């Protein structure tokens, strides 16, 4: 009788649960959900441990718990749903018709929890269950199999967001492609095509694959619907065109991106906030990219206007408040746009507050990888380059101080910690180059060790981090060589190990691969130059690697020299490598061929206006010297004259200390050699003397600039000095052109007017210098040089 009494109430509660389930399908209210959970839990409590239906009761509890979670968003409800679903899976028979559906339920619950806690363990378990169910699905209808494949694509997309591992992108592409192939008549085909296009776009962005982006665009152009539902799809298509433009530099791509972006934005007036903000985000980025490439100020103004509108929208729609916490769907696009907005503002105005804001917004994106729109990775690299434009030593000191303070308030678990450490390492590195400080170089390398220690082994940016470490070790090796001699080559050996690993982790044909190849070539060149027993293989390999990067640079229209991993011009190192090999080869034909290659590449560097002035200057020095050694005095004089025109663009306050000494010595040598070659070429003595005097004038101006340490001045006085110096330098360039050769009256009048302006600018600068030196606190400004090497 007791067993009958137990059975009847359980049966009643099971029946109630089923009735409530039917009601819930038509009216999804929290009250029905609570009642259903109550009935299912009572039914479970009356079910024996060994009861064959216990797994079914546990599955009911799990389902109701999950429904309650959808109302409450309480993680505890989700945790209890997972516990019940796991017990149901283990309690049921191994061979049972409903088992795959229990896999599905548990897998979906684990996926949802991973979206809350960002734990890779949950999403990995979820994916493993779906993969197990896929084997079962192969015997079912294609529609069921295609559904599971779509879910596997979604899961791997989330795994990629969490880990940045390339393998999950590959799985994602494979799953969506297989689903389309398996079930071509799928009613969800359009959605699957869109997801495949997204996967191809992300993989194309990861590997710099134009082929993947081409395929993504083809899919999107075919499958993008029309009307209000097409806004986000159109915006995604615009973003893909913009990504392809960054690889191809094809004007048609960026124009198409802006056209699609405008179409999406114009269709979004009556749409949801999310769709409108997404359209604004994509259009703003595309306009910013076109401005950065072609320089139309209208594009920049419109990009900034759209971004500023988004900043307001974020505060209104996404709950950003004074504590920095935020929520809501709009944050995904808006945060990325704000980071780019403030990055562009910093690029235009140099206000460090804009850079701090950009870092803050990109850090918020990193805290939520599901909101990473492919922007934060780009920002990390972009900001390193842009922050690097703060090049004067006093500005670097300020930047180091500010970043150090930021790091003191963070823990290594903070998503921004890695990015800030990267910046701090880079600034210690830059300061070490300007001051020859081994202490700064050691700090830079130590911080990079910490950064690499925090990056997962399969992280997509690990290759870049290894390359940056290699370049820093290489430079420390060079510094130690010059200070203590050739016995200090261990750093360069270690740098080669890092560079080899970085190159092995990068994908061939990508910008990352070219960067790491550049660093490896530079390391091998340095080892050859500094080794007491130089190996021919080192210089041969260095040339092969640098040739690869140089060709990639030309074909892809990328300036590798501006990347964080390779701050020096690739072609300049290649020319030096040819020259170094010509010194050791014994075969005269090979020697002549290397010398010819060296001169050709030095000439390319010298004529390349996109290279840094210091690199063009050094290339000109090498080229003129080689012409002179070969007896081509006329050609040498032509190069010397052009080389002098580059000198005004060189600023010692933005150069390394070693470069400062080299520049002053080189200018002095230029002046002497240029006049000597001019005489050898039969040029009139007056022109030869003019070259000598021009060199002396440049040295004087260069020394004045090199000794201007503005950090000791108050901001207003520093600003006055810089403005006066700029006016003086502008007039100095005019005066250096000399009296017009034609002798025409209008040109002579213009020259005389320019001379008066020069004298006025010179007097203004001298007056400001006297005022500064009259103050006891700034008396040392522009005082005598104390550096022994000067």
pLDDT at 315 exceeding the cut of 70: no
Mean pLDDT over 343-351 rounds to 65
Q: How far is CA 200 from CA 209, 219, 262, 282, in A?
A: 9, 10, 24, 18
CA–CA dist 456, 589 (Å, integer): 50
* Better-scored residue on pLDDT, 358 or 426: 426
Residue 134: the pLDDT is 77
Residue 759: the pLDDT is 67
| Predicted confidence band of residue 662 (pLDDT cuts 50, 70, 90) | low
Query: Would you say 201 and 240 are in contact if contact means Cβ atoms under 8 Å apart?
Result: yes
Q: Of the ranges 216-220, 424-428, 625-629, which is most confident?
A: 216-220
Mean pLDDT, the chain, integer:
75
Q: How far is CA 495 from CA 433, 499, 524, 527, 570, in A?
A: 17, 6, 9, 10, 18
pLDDT at 606 exceeding the cut of 70: yes
Q: How far is CA 772 from CA 260, 277, 295, 714, 716, in A?
A: 57, 52, 39, 10, 12
pLDDT digits (tens, 9 = 90+) for 378-428: 444 444 444 444 445 665 776 677 778 777 776 676 556 777 788 788 888
Nearest to 265 by CA among 298, 222, 300, 309: 309
Query: Would you say 649 and 613 are in contact if contact means Cβ atoms under 8 Å apart?
Result: yes
pLDDT at 368 exceeding the cut of 80: no
Residue 691: the pLDDT is 54
| Predicted confidence band of residue 534 (pLDDT cuts 50, 70, 90) | confident
Mean pLDDT over 99-110 rounds to 85
**What is the per-residue DSSP string for 13-74?**
HHHHHHHHHHHHHH---HHHHHHHHHHHHHHHHTS-TT-TTHHHHHHHHHHHHHHHHHHH--
* Better-scored residue on pLDDT, 717 or 487: 717
* Better-scored residue on pLDDT, 537 or 701: 537
Mean pLDDT over 229-240 rounds to 82
Mean pLDDT over 429-457 rounds to 85
Residue 379: the pLDDT is 47
Residue 288: the pLDDT is 82
pLDDT digits (tens, 9 = 90+) for 493-507: 999 999 999 998 877
| Predicted confidence band of residue 330 (pLDDT cuts 50, 70, 90) | very low
CA dihedral 35, 38, 42, 47 (to 10 degrees): 100
* Better-scored residue on pLDDT, 694 or 768: 768
pLDDT at 777 exceeding the cut of 50: yes
CA–CA dist 668, 703 (Å, integer): 12
Percentage of the chain surpassing pLDDT 70? 67
* Better-scored residue on pLDDT, 769 or 228: 769
Mean pLDDT over 454-477 rounds to 82
Mean pLDDT over 105-130 rounds to 89
**What is the per-residue DSSP string for 373-411?**
-S-HHHHHHHHHHHHTT--SHHHHHHHHHHHHHHHHT--
Residue 386: the pLDDT is 46
Residue 617: the pLDDT is 75
Residue 323: the pLDDT is 37
Residue 382: the pLDDT is 47
Tell me which of 183-187, 523-527, 573-577, 674-678 is least confident. Answer: 674-678
| CA triple 617-622-627, angle to 5 deg | 125
Query: Would you say 386 and 347 are in contact if contact means Cβ atoms under 8 Å apart?
Result: yes
CA–CA dist 46, 54 (Å, integer): 10
pLDDT at 96 exceeding the cut of 70: no
pLDDT at 43 exceeding the cut of 90: no
Residue 564: the pLDDT is 34
pLDDT at 588 exceeding the cut of 80: yes
CA–CA dist 525, 360 (Å, integer): 39
Residue 787: the pLDDT is 29
pLDDT at 739 exceeding the cut of 50: no
Mean pLDDT over 697-715 rounds to 57
Residue 673: the pLDDT is 59
Mean pLDDT over 581-599 rounds to 89
Residue 619: the pLDDT is 84
pLDDT at 224 exceeding the cut of 70: no
Residue 669: the pLDDT is 53
Query: Would you say 324 and 352 are in contact if contact means Cβ atoms under 8 Å apart?
Result: no
């Amino acid at each position: 009788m007791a067993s009958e009494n137990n059975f009847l109430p359980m049966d009643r509660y099971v029946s109630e649960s089923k009735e409530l389930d039917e009601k819930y399908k038509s009216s999804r209210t929290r009250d029905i959900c609570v009642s259903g959970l109550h009935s299912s839990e009572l039914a479970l409590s009356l079910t024996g441990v060994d009861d064959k239906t216990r797994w079914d009761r546990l599955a009911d509890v799990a389902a109701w718990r999950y429904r309650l979670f959808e109302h409450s968003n309480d993680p505890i409800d989700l945790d209890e749903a997972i516990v019940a679903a796991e017990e149901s899976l283990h309690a049921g028979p191994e061979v049972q018709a409903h088992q795959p559906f229990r896999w599905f339920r548990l897998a979906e619950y684990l996926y949802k929890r991973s979206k809350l806690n960002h734990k890779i363990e949950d999403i990995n378990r979820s994916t493993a269950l779906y993969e197990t169910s896929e084997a079962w699905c192969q015997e079912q209808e294609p529609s069921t199999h295609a559904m599971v494949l779509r879910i596997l694509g979604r899961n791997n997309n989330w795994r990629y967001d969490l880990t940045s591992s390339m393998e999950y992108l590959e799985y994602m592409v494979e799953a969506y492609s297989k689903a389309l192939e398996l079930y071509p008549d799928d009613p969800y085909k359009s959605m699957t095509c869109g997801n495949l296009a997204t996967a191809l776009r992300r993989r194309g962005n990861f590997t710099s694959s134009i082929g993947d982006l081409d395929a993504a665009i083809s899919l999107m152009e075919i499958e993008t619907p029309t009307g209000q539902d097409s806004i986000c799809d159109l915006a995604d298509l615009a973003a893909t065109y913009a990504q392809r433009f960054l690889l191809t530099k094809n004007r048609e791509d960026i124009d198409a991106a802006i056209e699609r972006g405008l179409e999406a934005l114009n269709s979004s007036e009556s749409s949801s906030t999310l769709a409108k903000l997404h359209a604004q985000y994509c259009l703003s980025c595309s306009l910013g990219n076109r401005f950065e490439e072609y320089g139309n100020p209208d594009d920049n103004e419109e990009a900034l206007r759209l971004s500023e509108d988004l900043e307001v929208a974020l505060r209104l729609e996404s709950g950003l408040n004074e504590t920095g916490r935020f929520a809501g769907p709009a944050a995904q696009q808006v945060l990325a746009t704000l980071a780019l907005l403030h990055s562009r503002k910093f690029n235009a105005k140099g206000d460090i507050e804009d850079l701090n804001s950009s870092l803050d917004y990109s850090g918020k994106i990193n805290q939520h990888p599901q909101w990473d729109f492919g922007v934060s990775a780009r920002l990390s690299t972009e900001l390193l380059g842009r922050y690097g434009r703060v090049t004067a030593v006093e500005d670097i000191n300020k930047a180091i101080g500010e970043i150090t303070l930021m790091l003191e308030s963070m823990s290594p678990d903070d998503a921004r910690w890695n990015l800030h450490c990267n910046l701090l390492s880079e600034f210690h590195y830059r300061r070490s180059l300007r001051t020859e400080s081994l202490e700064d170089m050691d700090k830079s390398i130590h911080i990079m060790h910490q950064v690499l220690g925090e990056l997962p082994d399969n992280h997509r940016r690990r290759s870049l981090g290894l390359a940056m470490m290699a370049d820093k070790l290489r430079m420390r090796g060079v510094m130690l060589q010059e200070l203590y001699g050739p016995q200090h080559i261990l750093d360069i050996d270690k740098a080669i190990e890092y560079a080899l690993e970085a190159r092995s982790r990068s994908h061939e044909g990508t910008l990352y691969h070219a960067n790491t190849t550049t660093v490896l070539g530079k390391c091998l060149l340095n080892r050859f130059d500094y080794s007491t027993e130089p190996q021919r293989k080192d210089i041969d390999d260095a040339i092969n690697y640098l040739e690869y990067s140089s060709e990639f640079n030309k074909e892809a229209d990328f300036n590798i020299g501006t990347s964080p991993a390779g701050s020096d011009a690739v072609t300049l190192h290649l020319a030096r490598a040819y020259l170094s090999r010509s010194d050791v080869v014994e075969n005269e034909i090979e020697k002549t061929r290397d010398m010819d290659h060296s001169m050709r590449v030095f000439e390319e560097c010298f004529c390349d206006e996109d290279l840094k002035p210091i690199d063009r200057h050094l290339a000109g020095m090498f080229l003129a010297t080689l012409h002179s050694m070969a007896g081509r005095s006329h050609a040498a004089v032509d190069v010397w004259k052009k080389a002098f025109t580059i000198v005004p663009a060189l600023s010692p306050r933005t150069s390394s200390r070693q470069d400062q000494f080299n520049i002053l010595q080189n200018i002095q040598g230029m002046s002497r050699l240029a006049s000597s070659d001019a005489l050898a070429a039969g040029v009139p003595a007056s022109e030869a003397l003019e070259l000598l005097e021009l060199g002396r004038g440049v040295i004087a101006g260069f020394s004045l600039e090199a000794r201007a340490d503005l950090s000791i001045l108050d901001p207003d006085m520093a600003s006055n000095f810089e403005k006066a110096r700029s006016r003086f330098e502008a007039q100095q360039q005019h005066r250096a052109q000399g009296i017009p050769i034609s002798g025409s009256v209008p040109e002579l009048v213009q020259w005389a007017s320019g001379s008066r302006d020069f004298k006025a600018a010179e007097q203004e600068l001298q007056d400001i210098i006297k005022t500064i030196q009259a103050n006891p606190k700034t008396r040392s400004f522009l005082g005598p040089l104390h550096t022994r090497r000067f």
